[in-house]
């Protein structure tokens, strides 16, 4: 039986033999298999590093420190203070990894570092309430200019979630304060490990009920992305050249092993068709 021209055209290059077999789908069997395989590799969820990738932690700490100086008369280089505070982040997490400390959430680790800095910088006269408020500056970090709009665009096509070493309450308060449209909040706290431990990335895929290859880690830190890739996640690098402040060198060069390289979240959304 001769196939009408319109049906042949509709097949888009698939074999006439496949159509003659009476397939209900105009695609041939081979094409069906390819389509299923493509779907199984398709990215469904984006997990985001937060400190430095989503929010500008350094500017935020400096801003609140300067407000405190105006109120209390402190003479402090708040840029240096912010760097020192952030500099205690990795070593304090390592104390948890090595078993020197039991599992301890980031809020508590931040406070341990802050208490030492208060003494070193002579921030005398702070009440417990004022010290606690300063420690919670990490709950109030301001997003980069492209963050909220970019996240809204990405959320239109993907499930988006945090995947940060920040504890759940910190990330939740930050999202509420800055209007970040996360679908859910995932934290290292839920795994009892800190990034870049593999358990963190695998926990995210497991909680999202997805195989790791359908989840893509988004971060401004290459070590974070490489750790995610080692357990099967895809990787998108977003350049944040000013994370460490003006005049600081940050490696934002494209990495051939990463799946995407973007200048900001809007650029990433454009590349992902969102």
Helices in the chain by DSSP H: which ranges?
Answer: 5-10, 16-20, 29-41, 57-72, 78-87, 89-97, 106-120, 128-135, 147-155, 168-178, 198-207, 222-230, 265-271
Alpha-carbon distances, residue 142 vs 102, 112, 265 (angstroms): 30, 23, 15
pLDDT-flagged residues of the chain (< 70) = 1-41
CATH number 2.40.30.10 is the correct assignment for the domain at 57-139: no
d(CA 248, CA 177): 28
Report the pLDDT value the prediction gives residue 51, as an integer from 0 to 100.
98
In contact, 255 and 261? CB cutoff 8 Å: yes
Q: Percentage of the chain with pLDDT > 90?
A: 82
Q: Tell me: the pLDDT tens digits for 108-127?
A: 999 999 999 999 999 988 99
Residue span(s) of the chain under CATH 3.40.50.1000 come to: 45-55+141-271
Report the pLDDT value the prediction gives residue 20, as an integer from 0 to 100.
38
Residue span(s) of the chain under CATH 1.10.150.240 come to: 57-139
CATH assignment, 45-55+141-271 = 3.40.50.1000
Q: Tell me: the pLDDT tens digits for 76-88?
A: 999 999 999 999 9
Q: Residues 140-150, buried b or exposed e (16+ Cβ, 10 A)? A: bbbbbebbbeb
User: Using the 8-state DSSP alphabet, how is residue 51 labeled?
Assistant: B
Helices in 136-244 by DSSP H: which ranges?
Answer: 147-155, 168-178, 198-207, 222-230
* Sign, Cα dihedral of 157, 269, 228, 183: negative
Report the pLDDT value the prediction gives residue 70, as an integer from 0 to 100.
95
Task: Decide: residue 1, CB within 10 A, 0-12 exposed, 13-18 middle, 19+ buried.
Answer: exposed
Report the pLDDT value the prediction gives residue 249, as an integer from 0 to 100.
83
In contact, 196 and 224? CB cutoff 8 Å: yes
Report the pLDDT value the prediction gives residue 35, as an integer from 0 to 100.
63
123 contact partners, CB below 8 Å, separation of at least 6: 72, 74, 76, 117
Q: Tell me: the pLDDT tens digits for 138-158?
A: 999 999 999 999 999 999 999
Report the pLDDT value the prediction gives residue 210, as an integer from 0 to 100.
98
Strands 260-262 and 215-219: unpaired
């Amino acid at each position: 039986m001769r196939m009408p021209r319109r049906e042949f055209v509709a097949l888009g290059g698939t074999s006439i033999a496949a159509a003659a077999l009476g397939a209900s789908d105009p695609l041939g069997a081979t094409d069906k298999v390819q389509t299923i395989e493509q779907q199984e590799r398709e990215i469904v969820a984006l997990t985001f590093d937060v400190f430095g990738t989503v929010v500008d932690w350094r500017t935020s700490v400096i801003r609140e420190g300067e407000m405190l100086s105006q109120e209390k008369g402190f003479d402090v280089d708040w840029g240096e203070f912010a760097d020192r505070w952030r500099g205690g982040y990795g070593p304090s997490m390592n104390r948890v990894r090595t078993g020197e400390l039991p599992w301890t959430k980031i809020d508590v680790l931040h406070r341990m570092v802050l208490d030492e800095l208060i003494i070193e910088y002579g921030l005398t006269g702070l009440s417990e309430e004022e010290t606690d408020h300063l420690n919670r500056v990490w709950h109030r970090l301001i997003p980069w200019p492209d963050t909220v709009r970019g996240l809204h665009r990405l959320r239109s096509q993907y499930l988006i979630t945090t995947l940060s070493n920040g504890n759940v309450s910190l990330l939740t308060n930050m999202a509420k304060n800055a209007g970040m449209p996360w679908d859910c909040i995932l934290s290292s706290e839920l795994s009892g490990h800190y990034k870049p431990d593999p358990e963190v990335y695998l926990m995210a895929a497991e909680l999202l009920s997805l195989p790791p290859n359908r989840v893509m880690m988004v971060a401004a830190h290459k070590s974070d992305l490489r750790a995610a890739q080692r357990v099967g996640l895809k990787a998108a690098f977003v350049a944040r050249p000013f994370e460490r402040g003006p005049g600081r060198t940050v490696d934002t060069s494209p990495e051939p092993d990463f799946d995407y390289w973007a200048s900001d979240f809007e650029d990433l959304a454009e590349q992902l068709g969102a």
